[in-house]
């Protein structure tokens, strides 16, 4: 068991992922890396909401969070992205770890290529992270994601004190993503200074969630189907730093987290 001091927890708000993607700057310099994991049940729910005919390719372990990406980020801006468009994704480069990737870095959007998410994340974000020696190859970029997933599992982080980003619908918010920030030396750091598209709250809690209402954690029904009235857990968002009251007692502490709740993320 390990512990980290709980400092600088922030809440980041986004109205839509599209707004996030369209403001990307051309400057390729960056200050930190955001490691993002997503809750597949909510991703699936949003995917189906966009088109009822959509199918979801859920991970084998339906109780686990999966990786969305590792995003180099310049403080006060969004991006950089697509730093080298000639450095195309090559599936052969990740063959040694492909089996692991299919378990922890899952493309939930059924009907698209198994490589679609990996290709996008490498082209958009990996080519920027490659400025750093530890990320200087496609294999290294994805390998670090796997290693971070082992160290900073969102399933465990939700047991403590995360930061929240929401999409509100019908008076509820469905948890979708958690983000952790790292320095360019790959040390955990506070996420202070990354762009928040909306901020509500004091200096310790920034969120677009209605903190007087519930934050919902959708579960899988029969592994694939989602029902609005079925939730694995329901957490009451209070005004205190500890935003969640888990179903069990936990002792781990984490820093520099951001949770995004819902949103149709086809743009990744």
What tens digit of pLDDT does each residue of 9-59 get? 333 323 223 333 334 445 589 999 999 888 888 888 888 888 889 999 888
Is residue 137 included in any domain, yes or no?
Answer: yes
pLDDT at 44: 87
pLDDT at 41: 85
User: Where residue 118 falls among pLDDT bands split at 50, 70, 90?
Assistant: very high
pLDDT at 237: 27
Q: Environment class of residue 101 by beta-carbon count within 10 Å: exposed (0-12), middle (13-18) or buried (19+)?
A: buried
pLDDT at 107: 94
* Helices and strands (DSSP H and E) totals, the chain: 7, 9
Is residue 233 included in any domain, yes or no?
Answer: yes
- Domain count of the chain? 1
Gyration radius from the chain CA atoms:
17
Is residue 5 included in any domain, yes or no?
Answer: no
Length of the chain: 268
pLDDT at 124: 97
Is residue 180 included in any domain, yes or no?
Answer: yes
Mean pLDDT throughout 173-202?
Answer: 73
User: Where residue 123 falls among pLDDT bands split at 50, 70, 90?
Assistant: very high
Mean pLDDT throughout 92-107?
Answer: 96
Is residue 3 included in any domain, yes or no?
Answer: no
Asked if 9 contacts 255 with a C-beta cutoff of 8 angstroms, the reply is yes
**DSSP readout, 77-101?**
S-----S-TTS---GGGGGGGHHHH
What tens digit of pLDDT does each residue of 196-236 get? 544 444 444 445 555 566 666 676 533 333 333 333 332 22
**DSSP readout, 13-56?**
B-S-HHHHHHT--S----SEEEEEEE-HHHHHHHHHHH-TT--B
Is residue 267 included in any domain, yes or no?
Answer: no
Q: How far apart are CA 180 and CA 146, in angstroms?
A: 14
What tens digit of pLDDT does each residue of 46-69 get? 888 888 899 998 888 877 889 999
**DSSP readout, 203-229?**
TT---SS-TTSEEEEE--BTTTB--TT
pLDDT at 210: 58
* Residues labelled catalytic: 68, 121, 125
Which residue's entry shows tokens 């029902």? Answer: 227
What CATH number does residue 95 fall under? 3.90.730.10
Percentage, residues of the chain above pLDDT 70? 55
Q: How far apart are CA 115 and CA 106, in angstroms?
A: 9
Q: How far apart are CA 101 and CA 96, in angstroms?
A: 10
CA 16 and chain centroid, separation: 14
User: Where residue 246 falls among pLDDT bands split at 50, 70, 90?
Assistant: very low
Kindly report the backbone phi and psi dihedral angles of residue 224, in degrees, each rounded to the nearest multiple of 5, phi listed first.
Answer: -130, -40
Q: How far apart are CA 57 and CA 112, in angstroms?
A: 9
Domain that holds residue 225: 17-260
Is residue 206 included in any domain, yes or no?
Answer: yes
Is residue 179 included in any domain, yes or no?
Answer: yes
Q: What is the mean pLDDT of the chain?
A: 69
What tens digit of pLDDT does each residue of 126-157 get? 999 999 999 999 999 999 999 999 998 876 66
Q: Any residues with CB less than 8 A from the CB of 86 and at least 6 apart, and which?
A: none
Mean pLDDT throughout 61-90?
Answer: 91
């Amino acid at each position: 068991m390990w512990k980290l001091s709980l400092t600088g927890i922030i809440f980041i708000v986004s109205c839509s992922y599209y707004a996030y993607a369209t403001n990307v700057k051309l400057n390729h310099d960056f200050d930190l890396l955001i490691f993002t994991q997503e809750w597949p049940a909510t991703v699936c729910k949003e995917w189906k909401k966009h088109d009822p005919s959509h199918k979801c390719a859920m991970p084998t372990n339906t109780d686990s969070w999966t990786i969305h990406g590792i995003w180099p980020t310049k403080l006060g801006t969004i991006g950089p992205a697509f730093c080298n468009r000639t450095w195309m994704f090559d599936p052969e480069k990740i063959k040694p770890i492909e089996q692991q990737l299919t378990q922890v870095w899952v493309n939930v959007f059924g009907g698209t290529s198994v490589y679609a998410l990996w290709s996008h994340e490498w082209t958009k974000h990996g080519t920027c992270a490659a400025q750093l020696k530890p990320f200087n190859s496609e294999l290294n970029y994805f390998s670090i994601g796997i290693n971070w997933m082992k160290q900073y599992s969102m399933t465990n982080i939700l047991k403590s004190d995360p930061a929240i980003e929401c999409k509100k619908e019908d008076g509820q918010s469905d948890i979708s993503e958690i983000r952790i920030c790292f320095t360019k030396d790959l040390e955990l750091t506070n996420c202070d200074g990354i762009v928040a598209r909306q901020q509500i709250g004091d200096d310790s809690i920034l969120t677009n969630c209605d903190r007087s209402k519930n934050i919902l954690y959708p579960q899988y029904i029969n592994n694939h189907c989602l029902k609005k009235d079925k939730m694995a857990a329901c957490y009451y968002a209070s005004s205190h730093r500890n935003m969640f009251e888990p179903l069990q007692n936990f002792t781990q502490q984490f820093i520099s987290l951001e949770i995004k709740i819902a949103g149709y993320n086809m743009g990744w």
